[in-house]
Chain A
Amino acid sequence: MNGLDLPLIWAGIIATAVLLYVLLDGFDLGVGILFPFARTPRDRDVMMDSIAPVWDGNETWLVLGGGGLFAAFPLAYSAILPALYLPVILMLLALILRGVAFEFRIRGRRRGKALWTAAFAGGSLTAAIAQGFILGGFIQGVTLKGSQFAGGPFDWLTPYTVLVAAGLVAGYALLGATWLVWRTETELHGDARRWAGIAAVAVAGLLAAVSFATLFVHPRIAGRWGFANGAFDLAALLPHLPIPLLGLAGLAVVAVGLRRKSHGWPHVGATLVFLSGYAGLAAGFFPHIVPYDMTFRQAANQDNALALMLGGVAILLPVIMGYTIWVYWLFRGKVTPDAGYH
């Protein structure tokens, strides 16, 4: 595979895996975050049934993100995870409770059912918050000595990361609400429409706040966007301008879609908002994989390992995408109350 820029290709693959994770598990975590607002136990059953056949596949992208980082960029993997130790463990514990709730909630009788309803909602919310801290801690930058983490255990906990966590929770809630608008009927559909409206307002506010705060947290990112040393450079901003415009367009699609009672468009809009946020981050710290000390080239694995895996990915990823899309197609349409198998 001479001539291929293997580290660059792998940076693209990992970035795609993480993006797919955020978009897919994002909506099913969002459904959990909205759980406490459901009117009836029956509504909660339908909400869970709408994601039960696909959540496991969605979460697999997280495993590919982690496993892929280990395999393709081991130095980044071994620097980032100790730096974000506590939020990573918190996320895992939350995902465990929430994951088993899918089966346990159906089996539980009165008290058991209440416990697993709470575990599903609490686990989803906690996982989202922990991911927000991970993301925020990552944007802030990680203290390295050589290629090993050398900071403190709570470096990831700052006002900035709290703001990012709030933004991510609102974002997931928006994805979850628009998913429910798309996939449910009757009163629940109406509730989801209302939730989506509230979440969209929260997302708009928090996204602006996070974007603004990020410019203060790291001068290097500010420089990229044209705000260097108190001066403003339009030439630096212009090539990046499509990114915030995409976010605004996404919010507009959500708003117009909700107003016109569209079922599918609000989810498309929410997805566009996430795409814009993700692209904004990538533009902020590319080519760093551990901001702001390690580039993806420095972190990359040996070429022969990357080449071997690329061979596998070239064959397998299209197959995986194919059957994933097929499964989504199979479970398309409105969720009916008898969707469970139990």
Chain B
Amino acid sequence: MDVDALLLSRLQFAFTIAFHIIFPSFTIGLASYLAVLEGLWLTSRNEVFKTLYLFWLKIFAISFGMGVVTGVVMSYELGANWSVFSAVAAPVIGPLLAFEVLTAFFLEASFLGIMLFGWKKVGPGLHFAATVLVAVGTLISAFWIISANSWMQHPTGFARTAEGGLIAVDWMEVIFSPSFPERLIHMTLAAYLTTALVVGAASAWRLLRRPDEPESGMALRMAIGMFAIVAPLQLVAGDLSGKDVLRLQPAKLAAIEAFWETRSEQAFHIIAWPDGRLEANRWELSIPKVGSLITAGSIDAEVKGLKAFAPEDRPPVGLVFWSFRVMVGLGLAMIGLGAWGAWLCWRGGAERSTWFLRACVAMGPAGFVAVISGWIVAEVGRQPWVIYGVLRTADAVSPVGAGQVSASLLGFLVVYAVIFSVGVLYILRMIAEGPAVGSEEALPEGLRAPGSAMAAAPLDPGQGGAP
């Protein structure tokens, strides 16, 4: 097998999946947020919610479109670049991916059409149902993808056939592999936090210019609620996931913490420069004994170091170690932002605190960075295995030449760079224009848009009217 084609295929898969994950981690949260906004508007008839809904719907449409097209890539790249993996793994995770298409992909794609273009075609009740179905679809999609990934991280419920292939023996064990629940919770919370950070940043940016914009004030308070509740929960979920890693993937844990020797009373390395050839950290800033405490729960606990594994079974240390620290550092910053915001709200003035608003703007992209860092920890940390303990990444690659893979990698780099910069530009431009612009167009004379779903609703609250 050509080593270059292997490396290039790994780079290509890492690049395309890291790029793809940006969009689901935003749209999962945003779809739920839209469902909440539309629900609040239908029950309270407060126009602020409708304005916010119409505004974030436009941003959702752009992000969802980019998520769909980059997601289609993944379903073909598995076979194009990782054909051996496909042939080996399909008997076990094939159905999981097929169920994702059947239960989630069609649901999202079909009802998105109604969400975007159905204003004049269906009543408010049905329109709200479409929004909820899209939101549910994004969550179902996460369920299956995380399920397949968790199985690859810790395969259970399968056996080897006489010919050396794999066969599922217990589907429940395949779908609900040991680390799956923790991973799903961790990923879903990450998506909600990512969305809240973007909504918070956009609203804060508006409030710095127009302190009295009611939509931005409302959105900011909703975002603060998410930070304050979800960011601390995420710390707990992350710790539970860490416990799985200690139990199921000790080599990954050793890389995350840059432990080289197996011993009790491991030191906690706040920062370090791990060196794989030296089999040690070149330098480190550490707290003695705390490493064992935070990873295994007690100072006396023995925690395996990287030297307990053969060199060819060790993941790359530096990348995993640093990605983990970026993720956790940003998570702690989110908890801080939530506490600060909650305190300001309690004092009655989060919208007026210039420094808090600036902090919100600065933290806008933090969710994306944290998600990608976490993804690197999970995926690079389980190397050199693509199916942990079953199939090595090097043995999983397609029999294609380096030339073809370089050409395709270059194609993805160019196309993704173009669509990403343009997509971000258009989203930022919309945020700069603010939530009220779209709704003013939709309401020409201060009334509801004629012919829109909203026009069918009564003007006075409390009369019902959803068909």
Contact = CB atoms under 8 A, between A and B. Distances in A.
Interface of A: 52-54, 56-57, 59-60, 62-64, 66-72, 74-75, 77-82, 85-86, 88-90, 92-93, 95-97, 99-100, 102-104, 107-108, 112, 147-150, 153, 301-302, 304-305, 308-309, 312-313, 316-317, 320, 323-324, 327, 330-331, 339-342
A82 B76 contact: no
Interface residues of B, number: 71
A93 B97 CA distance: 22
B83 A104 contact: no
Contacts of A96: 69-70, 72-73, 415-416, 419
A141 to B, nearest CB: 17
A80 B87 contact: no
B83 A149 contact: yes
B113 A57 contact: yes
Quick one: which of B72, B103, B401, B404 has the most chain A CB within 10 A?
A: B72
B398 interface: yes
B430 to A, nearest CB: 8
B62 A82 contact: no
8 contacts: A53-B116, A56-B109, A88-B76, A92-B72, A93-B415, A320-B106, A324-B110, A330-B122
A147 to B, nearest CB: 7
A75 B98 contact: no
Given A95-B69, A304-B168, A327 B110 contact: yes
Nearest to A62: B72
Interface of B: 57-58, 61-62, 65-66, 68-73, 75-76, 78-80, 83-84, 86-87, 90-92, 94-95, 97-103, 105-107, 109-114, 116-119, 121-122, 161, 167-168, 171, 398-401, 403-404, 407-408, 411-412, 415-416, 418-419, 422-423, 426, 429-430
Contact of A324 (B83, B97, B106): B106
Contact of B168 (A54, A95, A102, A305): A305
For the residues of B in contact with A, the DSSP-based class is: helix
Given A52-B117, A67-B98, A302 B79 contact: no
A257 B414 CA distance: 44
A81 B99 contact: no
Contact of A309 (B73, B98, B411): B98
Contacts of B119: 341
Given A86-B404, A99-B69, A70 B79 contact: yes
Contact of B65 (A88, A100, A112, A312): A100
Given A96-B73, A153-B401, A82 B80 contact: yes
For the residues of A in contact with B, the DSSP-based class is: helix
Given A74-B87, A93-B411, A153-B404, A66 B76 contact: yes
A82 B109 CA distance: 28
Given A60-B105, A301-B91, A304-B167, A100 B113 contact: no
Given A56-B112, A71-B95, A81-B79, 16 more contacts: A52-B116, A53-B118, A60-B105, A81-B86, A82-B83, A82-B399, A89-B408, A92-B73, A99-B72, A100-B66, A107-B430, A301-B91, A317-B102, A324-B110, A339-B117, A341-B119
B423 A60 contact: no
B12 to A, nearest CB: 9
Contacts of A59: 68, 72, 109
B212 to A, nearest CB: 27
Given A53-B113, A93-B415, A153-B400, A77 B72 contact: no
Contacts of A340: 117
Contacts of B412: 93
A77 B75 contact: no
B62 A305 contact: no
Given A89-B408, A97-B415, A308-B171, A148 B83 contact: yes
B386 to A, nearest CB: 14
